[in-house]
Amino acid sequence: MIAIGSDHGGYELKKEIIKHLAQRGIECKDFGTDSTASCDYPVYGKAVANAVAKGECEKGILICGTGIGISMTANKIKGIRCALCHDCFSAEATRLHNNANILAMGGRVVGAGLALKIVDTFLDTPFSNDERHIRRISQIESE
Ligand code: RB5
């Protein structure tokens, strides 16, 4: 199950992603927002991040206008590694190296065609499980 959320700046792209996930047979849980009316991105960033951190959803996708505010919010939640990606190379690398569990994008930055490729790359790339990457990820969490 994929958790997905956006603010008004990411709402239109979120709808495209939900349709794409359904076409791929991937289930998702939409945490809002439900329109293009102005709203506060931290509400949706926290809802998706908490669902992933608690293990209710395996991964998450977050979209705001730039992807910046919503990724900053998600990364405040313990256990969340949210990666802001606007290219497929970064989406692949953050799965292989960082075991990122949330993908963030900016709905005002990328078009739907590229965004859907980024989503596919993110969801289809496994963590490398390399010792050096496991070590570095544990260093992110330590004080
Ligand atoms: C909303 O106008 C905008 O600030 C938001 O979508 C996002 O880009 C924040 O980082």
Domain of 62, in residue numbers: 2-141
Sign of the CA dihedral with 14 first, then 27, 90, and 47 last: positive
Q: What angle do CA 29, 89, 125 make, to 5 degrees?
A: 50
Q: What is the pLDDT of residue 37?
A: 98
Residue nearest to atom 9 of ligand 1 (CA): 69
Q: What is the pLDDT of residue 107?
A: 98
Catalytic status, residue 85 = no
Average pLDDT, the chain: 98
Catalytic status, residue 88 = no
Sheet holding 59-64, edge to edge: 28-30, 2-6, 59-64, 102-106, 82-84
What tens digit of pLDDT does each residue of 20-42 get?
999 999 999 999 999 999 999 99
Average pLDDT on 56-62 reads 98
Q: What is the pLDDT of residue 140?
A: 94
Structural domains in the chain (count): 1
**What separation in angstroms does the CA of 93 have from each of 15, 66, 79, 96?**
26, 20, 19, 5
Pocket of ligand 1 from Cβ distances under 6 Å: 7, 9, 41, 64-66, 68-69
Q: What is the pLDDT of residue 23?
A: 98
Instruction: Ligand 1 pocket test: pick from 66, 86, 105, 109 the residue with the most ligand atoms within 8 Å of its Cβ.
Output: 66
Asked if 6 contacts 56 with a C-beta cutoff of 8 angstroms, the reply is no
Q: Residues near 134 by Cβ (< 8 Å), separated by ≥ 6?
A: none
Judge whether residue 14 has pLDDT over 90: yes
Q: What is the CATH number of the domain that holds 31?
A: 3.40.1400.10
Q: What is the pLDDT of residue 143?
A: 80
Choosing from 28, 39, 57, 64, which is the catalytic residue?
64
What tens digit of pLDDT does each residue of 62-93 get?
999 999 999 999 999 999 999 999 999 999 99
Q: What is the pLDDT of residue 92?
A: 99
